[in-house]
Amino acid sequence: MDTPPELIDFTAGGPQSGDLDVAWIHGSESAKHNTDQDIQVHAYDEHTFILRQNMAVNYEAPFMFLLFGNARAVLIDTGATASADFFPLRRVVDGLVDTWLAAHPRDGYGLLVLHTHPHGDHVAGDAQFAGRPGTVVVDAARDSAWEFFGFSDDSGDGGDSDGGDGGIRPAHVDLGGRVLACWPSPGHHHAAVTFYDPHTGFLLTGDTVYPGRLYIQDWSAFVRTIDRLIAFCDTHPVTHVLGCHIEMSRQPGVDYPIFTTYQPYEPPLQMTVEQLRQIRRAIDEVGGRPGRHVFPGFILCLDED
């Protein structure tokens, strides 16, 4: 007789606080002599992991997120490097899943691989998950990802009708008692997606919002996306806004140049809802003018058309 698995209640009492007091690996003066782990794993809580890729392996050093539900886990983004030798994402994720399942035994546990957007430094490890049992990898390209989420063609534009959810009703992805809300978030990339996790209160913003250079491909779409996220934050408990990179230094308005592989004075990854509002005010100030617009905690980068 099998005993039914112990079901974790991910909803009781609103967002649970966890540990973000972490020193991230941040490269080294000599990339060649870097001794950091290939992938740093930080447990926010026992069901929530934040991963960072080694900066010497790829200067983008993106962050990834692994969230466990009762029925399956979701991995959001797969990093900047395809090679499992240099970037053993599959091995690290398998280890975390094995450990979690040892503590919370259940049969037929699944893995879902989703993405914040299809840029190469967020999808490179996808192939490592090909053929993994119980695993669904949703291609990050707009057609496949939006079909999975059920976003329609006009999800990214207009539609400011329904109030509380910021103009567009989110899609929901159920991990088994842990239900993520997901929005189309064009602006940085036309296929970008933002995720909200009610268990932690995390808003996972990909490259749309992070402490760094916010490269805006479509200005008006970016403005609508930020408005939508703020409207959601007005009505829901968001604890941390977490993007996928750190490019600023701790000195306000000073970023590490692109291709930097040593960032000893990084600010925290997590941003606040107030910083999201600062981005909104910066939007008004910039007004869609092309250029590099420097603010204390982020830089808005907008190309000439």
Alpha helices by DSSP H, listed for 118-272, are 120-123, 142-149, 219-235
Answer for the pair 183, 194: CB distance below 8 angstroms, yes or no: yes
- Least separation in angstroms between residue 7's CB and Zn ion is 36
- Least separation in angstroms between residue 201's CB and Zn ion is 24
Closer by beta carbon to Zn ion, 96 or else 209: 209
**Widest CA span of the chain, in angstroms?**
67
- Least separation in angstroms between residue 117's CB and Zn ion is 6
* Binding range to Zn ion, per CB under 5 A, among 66-74, 193-201, 203-211, 256-264: 203-211
- Least separation in angstroms between residue 245's CB and Zn ion is 8
* Binding range to Zn ion, per CB under 5 A, among 11-19, 60-68, 87-95, 114-122: 114-122
Beta bridge partners, 193, equal 184
Closer by beta carbon to Zn ion, 207 or else 266: 207
Closer by beta carbon to Zn ion, 216 or else 273: 216
Task: Give residue 57's region: left, alpha or beta (phi > 0; psi -120 to 50).
Answer: alpha
* Edge-to-edge order in the sheet of strand 171-174: 171-174, 179-184, 193-197, 202-206, 240-243
Closer by beta carbon to Zn ion, 42 or else 119: 119
- Least separation in angstroms between residue 208's CB and Zn ion is 9
Note whether 119 binds Zn ion by CB under 5 A. yes
Shortest CA distance to 242 belongs to which of 93, 12, 24? Answer: 24
Whole-angstrom distance, CA of residue 104 vs CA of residue 188: 38
Residues 204-223 that bind Zn ion (CB under 5 A): 207
Answer for the pair 261, 59: CB distance below 8 angstroms, yes or no: yes
Answer for the pair 96, 41: CB distance below 8 angstroms, yes or no: yes
Q: Is 236 helix (H, G, I), strand (E, B) or coil?
A: coil
Note whether 77 binds Zn ion by CB under 5 A. no
Count of residues of this chain found to bind Zn ion when the rule CB under 5 A is applied:
2
Note whether 47 binds Zn ion by CB under 5 A. no
Closer by beta carbon to Zn ion, 8 or else 82: 82
Shortest CA distance to 14 belongs to which of 168, 186, 197, 182? Answer: 197
Amino acid at 297: G
Closer by beta carbon to Zn ion, 73 or else 226: 226
* Binding range to Zn ion, per CB under 5 A, among 3-11, 101-109, 202-210, 233-241: 202-210
**Which residues bind to Zn ion, rule: CB under 5 A?**
119, 207
